[in-house]
Amino acid sequence: MTNYLDAGNGCKVIFDDFQNVKLSEPADLVFADPPFGINFKANLQTYHRKPDALSYREVPLEVYPKFVKSLLDWSYKALSESGSMWLLSGWNNLSTVLQAVEDSGFHLLNHCIWRYQFGVFTKKRFTTSHYHLLLLVKDLNNYVFNKPQHYAEDVWYIKRPYNRGVQTAGNELPEKLVEKCIRTSSNVGDLVVDPVLGSGTTLKVCLRTGRRCIGIEINPALIERIKSKLSKAT
Ligand SMILES: C[S@@+](CC[C@H](N)C(=O)[O-])C[C@H]1O[C@@H](n2cnc3c(N)ncnc32)[C@H](O)[C@@H]1O
């Protein structure tokens, strides 16, 4: 059974598989930070996460190419002709993601890098401290781009929020990062869709920046975390 959470001001969460959801109006922007396809659950056990985080839905590596293709096809159909998509990826499955983008009909406008602190310590390889942010558009001659500064570079240094002793879902993005993507690629009143919502970061940023938002999340156990995130200022 599908569940809803109405967050007001044109923002809501649908608890379902995004593949089952059909939007009633075209979206202006899709923001998607999908599962990594790297068996992330094993890490969750190590880091004393809350039970909702332990029910995290990972996508097995064997079906990752199919999953990414389906996410891109769904997003392409969901977007208006001038729509854009921010698609996030780690480096492990980047070749799969880039191949799927090439086959999708989207144009890759930028390949940005998010550089963060606190990568997981490693002994016999470099510590990963970056993430890939792909900016895709349907029409190279018609898309929203609110340039954030005069000299806007494609490497962004943004800290992960860290509060000692506070349990997190382990995969929450910094609001600053999501806000930069959303402000750049949409306008006030626009409809932003996050088909793999997680803890609700996109929804919270949309509420704060005057965008409407539909978040879709397959794991209904995240409802309390989403409510709690929305109840906290910034
Ligand atoms: C990396 S997390 C998103 C984290 C989010 N950006 C945040 O800041 O909290 C990916 C989310 O996608 C969800 N997910 C996985 N498969 C899905 C599907 N088919 N439909 C909807 N959500 C899905 C997972 O349950 C997980 O919460």
Q: What is the pLDDT of residue 120?
A: 78
Q: What is the pLDDT of residue 42?
A: 47
Q: What is the pLDDT of residue 56?
A: 62
Measuring CA to CA, which residue among 49, 38, 59, 72 is closest to residue 195? 72
Q: What is the CATH number of the domain that holds 139?
A: 3.40.50.150
Residue segments in the chain with a per-residue pLDDT below the cut of 50: 42, 44, 47-48
pLDDT, the chain, mean: 90
Distance from the CA of 124 to the center of ligand 1, in angstroms? 30
Q: What is the pLDDT of residue 167?
A: 57
Q: What is the pLDDT of residue 37?
A: 80
- Minimal-distance CA residue to ligand 1 atom 20: 17
> Which residue segment(s) compose the domain that 209 sits in?
3-231
Overall domain count for the chain:
1
Q: Is the CB of 193 under 6 A from ligand 1?
A: no
Atom of ligand 1 lying closest to residue 71 CA = 19
Q: Residues 181, 186, 190, 195: is their CA dihedral positive or negative?
A: negative
